[in-house]
Amino acid sequence: MTGSLSGVASVIGIGQSDWVGDHKRVRAGERPHDSYGYGAQAFLSALADSGIARDEIDGLIVGPTTAYERVGELLGLNVRWGGQADAMTAVMEACMAIRAGLASVVALVYGNDQRSAQVNYGGPDAQGGGAFLAYVYHAPWGFTSQGALYAMMARRYMHERGLTQAELGEVAVAQRLAASRNPRALMRKPITVEDYLASPFICEPLHLFDYCLINDGGVALIIAEAGKARRAGRAPVAIKGVGRYDLNRGATSLEPRLLDYYLPAQQAVAAQVFEMASLGPKDMDALQIYDSFSLHIPLALEGYGYCPVGGAGQFMRETGISLAKGLPVNTSGGHLSESYMQGWNHQIEAVRQVRGEAGDHQVEGCRHVHYSSDVAGKAISIIYGA
Amino acid sequence: MANSQPVVALYDAPMWESLSRERMQLQSCGHCGTLRYPPGPICTTCTSLDYRWTDLSGGGEILSWVRFHRAYFDDHPPPYNAVAVRLDEGPIVVSNLIGPEPEGEWIGRRVSLVYRRHLDRTQHAFMLSEQP
Ligand SMILES: [Zn+2]
């Protein structure tokens, strides 16, 4: 494929802050670090993991919650190229910059103090409304919070596609099982579908266990040009494919959510990413799916062809989506049970799985991991491979 | 917490003014007739910049609904519902269903636009239509 980004770059280092330890401290009323501090800790751990020297880094992308220049200043990074992006866009842009020759080693640094800073995702100060009008436009009717948008979507999706509440509960149950085997996860006590159904509604039909956590932390990745990555100290994990398609039309009035469930975007991305990687759904050993809410999982399973459209409920219930059964999804516990790092924790989990370093939550013989997000109709996919 | 606030950007203001007169209007495209919601400077269907403000028939159908069990605003104590209504003229609006709630399935039920004073503003709400 002309201009393909397949195999152009590899992840050579991953790092994170101490999510579990800091969560305890925040719950005890402390503010251990700010967003920059969490990002700095994650960066140091990724740099150590990569084995390269700091002055080899010539590109920098920071997460949406920190200022680009200040992160560069704090980490002492003068670079040739840089910017600010969410997790999935950052990985894609790093590949693009490397392909274009604008950078050869890009550090991706994310830090977020959303819990200790008491960030609200709903109500009068709803976060994100500057970028996504739907987050604030329906406030006069009390319709607020990203969870409510997914609840509205879930209700109609369940009606049209026949997904039951108990089938949706399979997501929270599977991810909690993964988290129970992951020492980096915040919520490790296993739950059952019965526990799920008995948990309180936040915005009905979504229960408490359908919602992501809110916690502080940082994540970092070091992405290098493939040749350079091979010469670095350890086994690189290749980025084999990336794809993106956005549904913007009718976004504020919820049309792509309520009429399409983002399906056309995901199908367009599936075609791009699988072709670029010369792989298909059957080659994927694990999925990491951006899960601010559980509903993302059935949407992605259908959108990327892991099951027929309308078949996600049956797939989750019968085939399975856990480390115990079927196709493992969100093998670290994801946003629901591991840590809410806005898609960044999924990237480092994908790398750990391909490296075979995931410990008790390792998928045996894992060679390829598919990452998917459909946040606000922006469908993005990345395929990681050995 | 605090009270909910409408977003009133340049093109929203005439819509809110029409609500205050209890005669809700939206922009109708001068070229293809598509209605704009939220109000805006350009037709998303045909890109025409022309429009005129037109009355709504008030009829619609419930596409989906939720019930909030958590408080987000002082002026919306839980539990309360929100509905996504497809207006007969095309746009989808998010609102509240007031009056009797449907027995059984909400999705697909016909609803009619009504006006409600809320804080210092008049906003739309919907009620179940009479069964034919
Ligand atoms: Zn038009």
ipTM: 0.98
* DSSP assignment string, A328-373: -BSTT-HHHHT---TTHHHHHHHHHHHHT--GGGPPTT--EEEEEE
Terminal CA-CA length for chain A: 20
DSSP A282: G
> What is the pLDDT, as a whole number, of residue A1?
47
- Which residues is B51 bridged to in the sheet? B29
> What is the pLDDT, as a whole number, of residue B132?
58
Mean pLDDT by 10 residues, chain B (132 residues): 95 98 98 98 98 98 98 98 98 98 96 98 96 64
Residue A14 reports pLDDT greater than 70: yes
Please name which of A210, A155, A162, A209 lies closest in space to residue A307, comparing C-alpha atoms.
A162
> What is the pLDDT, as a whole number, of residue B64?
98
Where do the H-state alpha helices sit in chain A? Answer: 19-27, 35-50, 68-75, 87-99, 134-137, 146-161, 165-180, 193-198, 226-231, 255-258, 263-277, 296-303, 312-314, 334-337, 344-355
Please name which of A50, A65, A68 lies closest in space to residue A105, comparing C-alpha atoms.
A50
A203/B63 touch (CB, cutoff 8 Å), yes or no: no
What is the Å distance from ligand 1's center to B85 Cα?
Answer: 21
> What is the pLDDT, as a whole number, of residue A267?
98
In terms of pTM, does the model score above 0.90?
yes
Neighbour-count burial of A251, counting CB atoms closer than 10 A to its CB (0-12 exposed, 13-18 middle, 19+ buried): middle
Cα distance between residue A381 and residue B1, in whole Å: 37
Nearest CA in chain A to B124: A141
Mean pLDDT of chain A: 97
Q: Does A68 touch chain B (CB under 8 A)?
A: no
Report A:155-174 residues touching B (Cβ under 8 A). Answer: 155-156, 159
Instruction: Write the pLDDT tens digit of every residue in A28-39.
Output: 999 999 999 999
> A159: Cβ–Cβ under 8 A, 6 or more apart, which residues?
B64, B105, B107
Element (H, E) at B15: helix B13-20
Instruction: Write the pLDDT tens digit of every residue in A297-324.
Output: 999 999 999 999 999 999 999 999 999 9
Q: Which chain A positions have a beta carbon within 8 Å of B1's beta carbon?
A: 123-124
Neighbours of A233 (CB within 10 A): 11
C-alpha dihedral sign at A291, A293, A297, A300: negative
Across A42-61, average pLDDT = 97
| pLDDT class of A3 with cuts at 50, 70, 90 | low
Enter the tokens of residue B90: 């095309």
> B117: Cβ–Cβ under 8 A, 6 or more apart, which residues?
none
Residue A336 reports pLDDT greater than 70: yes
Instruction: Write the pLDDT tens digit of every residue in A71-127.
Output: 999 999 999 999 999 999 999 999 999 999 999 999 999 999 999 999 998 998 888
Cα distance between residue A365 and residue A373, in whole Å: 24
Angle A281-A287-A12 (CA atoms, 0-180°, nearest 5)?
105
Cα distance between residue A177 and residue A190, in whole Å: 6
> 3-state class of A287 per DSSP?
strand
Enter the tokens of residue A96: 């693009």
What is the Å distance from ligand 1's center to B33 Cα?
Answer: 6
What is the Å distance from ligand 1's center to B30 Cα?
Answer: 7
Across A280-288, average pLDDT = 98
Nearest CA in chain A to B75: A142
